[in-house]
Amino acid sequence: MTANAVKKRKRVAKRETVRRLQGVLFTLPVIVGIVVFSYIPAVQAFIYSLFKYDGFKTAQYIGFKNYADLFSVDRETGKVFLNTFLYAFVSVPLSLVLGYLVALLVNNKLRGVSAFRTLFYLPVIIPGVAAAVLWRDLFNSEFGVINRIFGAFGAHSLFFESEKTALATLLFTGVWGVGGSMIIWLAAFKNIPAELYESAKIDGANAFTRVVKITLPLSTPMIFYNLVLSVIGSLQVFNTFIIAGGSGGRGPENSLYFIALKIYNDAFTRGGRMGYASALGMALFAVIGLLILLVFKTNKWVTYTE
Amino acid sequence: MKILRFKRFGVSLLCMCLVLIMSACILLPTGSVDDGGGDDSVTGGDDGTPTYAVEINPDKNAALELTVSVSGDAHERKIIEELGKGFQKEYPNITFKIDPISGNIYDTVMGYYRANRMPDLLMANSFSMLTLGAAKVVAGLDPYIEAETQNGTFDADDYYADFWKLGQRNFDGTQWMVPRAADQVVVHYNKSILRAAGVDLDPATTKVKNGWTWRDFLDVCARVRSYYDGHGMGNLYLIDSYLNWEANFNAILRSCGAEYWGEGDAGAIVSENTKTALNLMKDLVEKKYTAKFSGASQANFDGGQGAFLFHSRASSLTWNILKEVTAVKNELGGGAAPEDIYDVATFPLIGDSPKIGAGAAGYCVAATIDASRRDYAWQFLKFMLSRDGQNIIAECGANYPPIRKDMADPTAEGVSWGLNLGFNLDAYTWAARQGYACATDFILKRPAMAQDLIDAVNTMIKNYVDYTPAQGSADANAKLDREMQYCRESLEYWAFDA
């Protein structure tokens, strides 16, 4: 090997090192952010979960007692897990299907369709507290608009004020956010090659067939992505609507009491339970992890294509 | 290839271990393992007395910035700012920085503590004070009180004992908080509505006065109800009763003789006295004097529609809201005086041993600050308790009753809390003078779970008061028995098991 070749190789290697270093530097803020704001707090929470810890000064190592207490002593645990799973079980398919249907509806080139897209998306940009006040008034059992409409048909509901209807009402308010998933679906639809639809049309496929045979299979990666995010989001639901409504977030007879809210209550409103709240957080982490693992293990229905 | 994979795996594993170890080293709970917490000589420990050395005559020219953690509302900030200005007349180089508490006090203080930036003084109430004290983050102030008492510059007897004790551990121990006012539940009433309903308001003969009884109150309510029903206001309620507020329901339960705890820490809420109290509350709902718990309806006292409001709110604040109502503006325009339109009276007395709800807000000194800062923080609290300090609080616009007994008369010279309003402000301190003030002390069984204990009782009241029996009184009695039983189980669970 000549000296020039060696020099050239060294120059290339140096350039490659600089390039890699640049890559690392560009990704460093994200990596540091993830480590500092996600991994370290997660480890911290696990460590706290092994202590009887009040968040201030007093900490006593108790091993896994907090975990044992979750399901043997705490009489709220069963209720919050039940509420959360029920909420997730209904809200995930509801938001996915509704968002998908709305996206299908507005995924055309009709005149004025962008106005509809804007209208459907508009609720997403309204602040949560403002939306909460709105829902509280709409669903007010005595003077709310919804009950006035119901009243025209001789019906009446207590909505958020009864343990029988509170969760259903909260789920209904979830429809408010379908605009968010609609945007993601629309982006997915735009990636489907137009030639496929043209070929299908030539072959005589009607609109329904085109949706079932082309749109649906080719948007499965996005369905999968939305599914994962929805499962995580719904299990971490924090119930801001009701908090803004002023009922302490738990709803009548704890009917809207979810795991995330219980974690908050134990950590920050009940003195001396930071360690216990951390154990509950780790339990929720484990449950979400298992469910997501299940989703990944059963993802054969997802079609990845060029 | 295998080697490369192994290397990657090894590096990943090492990184994870590194993060784990770093986290474990840095993030172990403060106080480490089983050390029982902070400096007991400052906090008083679990059940002891603080023993630190104090300086009650600190250098008046010292330059220092004290940080005060104050609830988010602008009015409380103004109080501290004005108190600070008053304090600077004696300590000209002490300045104040305000840190707002947004929402939950415990949560906010925890944030301060963990960020190692505890304020010198922090606002609390008689509930959060207990939790902060138990967490050993607020100083026991007994050494200052003892030193000042010996020096003749402080006398705890100058203050209403019923309110002063609401700053103490278990309401009877180490002084963790200095209450800044005497908060008492009173009945705010709309005189114009009562007058229109034909209620006798002649000061010489009226039933609506300090010390009126529950019977008197119901008589007046019956008259106002008839007036509402006869004038197209059948859908309106009379009272914003806030029966779900512990200051109110606790006073009613205790007045009827109900107890929460019996011998051997057993729950004692299941009793005939509790039934009497619950039926008394249910009676208000059934007669349509007050709205059900479920349902957002209120009597809307602040909007000029309701006749009564059970609350400890300062009368000046209530009047400031009420005077913006159009009908009230018209009356004022017609020459009526504020006291012709609105006034306050004591909470109606129930039974032979009446109780009236009392609470306290105040300020604590952080246990973590150094001794010299603590000395000035105490001097500031002492100033807050002085006549000048109490007048400054009133002059900020909210005429909370002063905690000083010698300022009970709002019309006396050198006493500002009347704010030149002709309201019956004696109502705010009347109960304390009669020994009727009643703190929410059933939560002392386990202050850390105060809200859950309160919720347990609240649920019982709500479920029974709102219940419409399907099959008459037997059905209602069965419901009452069930709710009391469930409440007892809940109280015991939150006090001992949770």
pLDDT in tens, chain A (306 residues): 678 888 889 999 999 889 988 988 999 999 889 988 988 888 889 999 999 998 887 788 999 999 999 988 898 999 999 999 999 999 999 999 999 999 999 988 888 888 989 998 998 888 877 888 888 888 887 778 888 888 888 888 888 878 888 889 888 888 888 888 889 899 889 888 889 999 999 999 998 999 999 999 999 988 998 899 999 999 998 866 665 555 567 787 888 889 999 999 899 888 879 999 999 999 999 999 999 999 999 888 888 765
Cα gap B476→A48, rounded to integer Å: 47
Tell me whether residue A62 is in a domain: no
Backbone phi, then psi, for A64, in 5-degree steps?
Answer: -100, 20
For A37, which DSSP code? I
Kindly state the average pLDDT of the residues B415-441: 88
Contact A58 B451 (CB under 8 A): no
Among the listed residues A269, A233, A229, the one whose alpha carbon sits nearest the alpha carbon of residue A248? A269
Contact B296 A35 (CB under 8 A): no
Please name the member of A57, A252, A270 whose beta carbon is closest to the beta carbon of B136. Answer: A57
Tell me: do A216 and A144 sit in the same domain.
yes
Backbone phi, then psi, for B140, in 5-degree steps?
Answer: -75, 130
By a Cβ cutoff of 8 Å, what residues of chain A touch chain B?
A: 35, 39-40, 43-44, 47-48, 51, 53-61, 73-75, 136, 140-143, 158, 161-162, 248, 252-253, 268-275
Which amino acid does the sequence have at B324? E
Interface test with A, best of B11, B12, B22, B30 (most A CBs within 10 A): B30
Cα gap A29→A35, rounded to integer Å: 10
The first and second tokens of residue B337, run together, are 């005086």
Which amino acid does the sequence have at B179? P
Tell me whether residue A54 is in a domain: no
Tell me: do A107 and A143 sit in the same domain.
yes
Please name the member of B131, B294, B493 whose beta carbon is closest to the beta carbon of A161. Answer: B294
Kindly state the average pLDDT of the residues B388-414: 89
Tell me: do A16 and A92 sit in the same domain.
no
Nearest CA-CA distance, residue A108 and chain B, Å:
44
Tell me whether residue A106 is in a domain: yes
Nearest C-alpha in B relative to A48: B29
Structure confidence at residue B240 (pLDDT)? 95
Tell me: do A42 and A74 sit in the same domain.
no
Contact A47 B38 (CB under 8 A): no
The first and second tokens of residue B236, run together, are 């309106």
Tell me whether residue A60 is in a domain: no
Tell me: do A292 and A185 sit in the same domain.
yes
Cα gap B467→B482, rounded to integer Å: 12
Please list every residue in chain A whose beta carbon sits closer than 8 Å to the beta carbon of residue B36.
58
Cα gap B63→B288, rounded to integer Å: 60
Please name the member of A252, A271, A275 whose beta carbon is closest to the beta carbon of B134. Answer: A271
Kindly state the average pLDDT of the residues B404-423: 86
Interface test with A, best of B27, B455, B467 (most A CBs within 10 A): B27
Structure confidence at residue B491 (pLDDT)? 94
Contact A56 B33 (CB under 8 A): no
Tell me whether residue A205 is in a domain: yes
Contact A269 B451 (CB under 8 A): yes
Contact A61 B34 (CB under 8 A): yes
Please list every residue in chain B whose beta carbon sits closer than 8 Å to the beta carbon of residue A73.
497-498
Cα gap B483→A218, rounded to integer Å: 56
* B32 band by pLDDT with thresholds 50, 70 and 90: very low
Structure confidence at residue B2 (pLDDT)? 55
Please name the member of A55, A161, A272 whose beta carbon is closest to the beta carbon of B295. Answer: A161
Tell me: do A36 and A73 sit in the same domain.
no
Structure confidence at residue A151 (pLDDT)? 83
Tell me whether residue A135 is in a domain: yes
Please name the member of B104, B113, B493 whose beta carbon is closest to the beta carbon of A56. Answer: B113
Please name the member of A60, A248, A268 whose beta carbon is closest to the beta carbon of B110. Answer: A268
Cα gap A258→A249, rounded to integer Å: 9
Q: Which domain holds residue A32?
A: 3-48
Cα gap B114→A127, rounded to integer Å: 30
* B475 band by pLDDT with thresholds 50, 70 and 90: confident
Cα gap A292→A44, rounded to integer Å: 23
Tell me: do A97 and A26 sit in the same domain.
no
Angle at B57 between CA B55 and CA B62, to 5 degrees: 95
Tell me whether residue A118 is in a domain: yes
Kindly state the average pLDDT of the residues B222-235: 95
Cα gap B336→B333, rounded to integer Å: 7
Tell me: do A114 and A30 sit in the same domain.
no
Question: HSE of B170 in the Cβ direction (CA atoms, 13 Å)?
Answer: 9
Residue B359, beta-bridge partner list:
B183
Cα gap B5→B264, rounded to integer Å: 65
Nearest C-alpha in A relative to B463: A253
Contact A74 B27 (CB under 8 A): no
Please list every residue in chain A whose beta carbon sits closer than 8 Å to the beta carbon of residue B455.
248
What is the number of domains present in chain A?
A: 2
Among the listed residues A244, A138, A152, A143, the one whose alpha carbon sits nearest the alpha carbon of residue B295? A143
Nearest CA-CA distance, residue A241 and chain B, Å:
15
pLDDT at B115 over 60: yes
Tell me: do A113 and A153 sit in the same domain.
yes
Cα gap B121→B131, rounded to integer Å: 16
Nearest CA-CA distance, residue A107 and chain B, Å:
42
Tell me: do A190 and A245 sit in the same domain.
yes
pLDDT at B44 over 90: no
Please name the member of B27, B113, B498 whose beta carbon is closest to the beta carbon of A44. Answer: B27
Contact B497 A158 (CB under 8 A): no
Nearest CA-CA distance, residue A58 and chain B, Å:
4
Please name the member of B23, B113, B498 whose beta carbon is closest to the beta carbon of A40. Answer: B23
- DSSP string for residues in A124-186: GGS-HHHHHHHHHHHT-TTT-HHHHHHHHTT----GGGSTTTHHHHHHHHGGGGHHHHHHHHH
Tell me: do A24 and A81 sit in the same domain.
no
For A83, which DSSP code? H
Nearest C-alpha in B relative to A71: B498
Backbone phi, then psi, for A298, in 5-degree steps?
Answer: -110, 35
Tell me: do A78 and A41 sit in the same domain.
no
Backbone phi, then psi, for B250, in 5-degree steps?
Answer: -65, -40
Please list every residue in chain B whose beta carbon sits closer than 8 Å to the beta carbon of residue A52.
none
C-beta neighbour count of A111 within 10 angstroms? 6
Which amino acid does the sequence have at A159? F
Tell me whether residue A59 is in a domain: no
> Pairing mode, if any, of strands B356-359 and B183-184?
antiparallel
By a Cβ cutoff of 8 Å, what residues of chain B touch chain A?
A: 19-20, 22-24, 27-38, 104, 106-107, 110, 113-114, 131, 134-137, 294-297, 447-449, 451-452, 455, 459, 493, 497-498
Structure confidence at residue B81 (pLDDT)? 95
Q: Give per-residue pLDDT as tens, B363-381.
A: 999 998 999 999 999 999 9
pLDDT at B17 over 80: no
Structure confidence at residue B412 (pLDDT)? 87
Torsion sign across C-alpha atoms B451, B455, B456, B457:
positive
Cα gap A252→A246, rounded to integer Å: 12
Structure confidence at residue A58 (pLDDT)? 79
The first and second tokens of residue B105, run together, are 């006090």
Domains of chain B from N-terminus onward: 40-182+360-403 (3.40.190.10), 184-357 (3.40.190.10)
Among the listed residues A24, A3, A245, the one whose alpha carbon sits nearest the alpha carbon of residue B295? A245
For residue B124, the SS3 value is strand
Contact B20 A51 (CB under 8 A): no
Contact A47 B449 (CB under 8 A): no
Contact A59 B34 (CB under 8 A): yes
pLDDT at B270 over 50: yes
Q: What is the mean pLDDT of chain B?
A: 89
Please list every residue in chain A whose beta carbon sits closer than 8 Å to the beta carbon of residue B136.
56-58
Which amino acid does the sequence have at B416? S
CATH number, domain at A85?
1.10.3720.10
Residue A137's Cβ-count burial label (10 Å; 0-12, 13-18, 19+) is middle
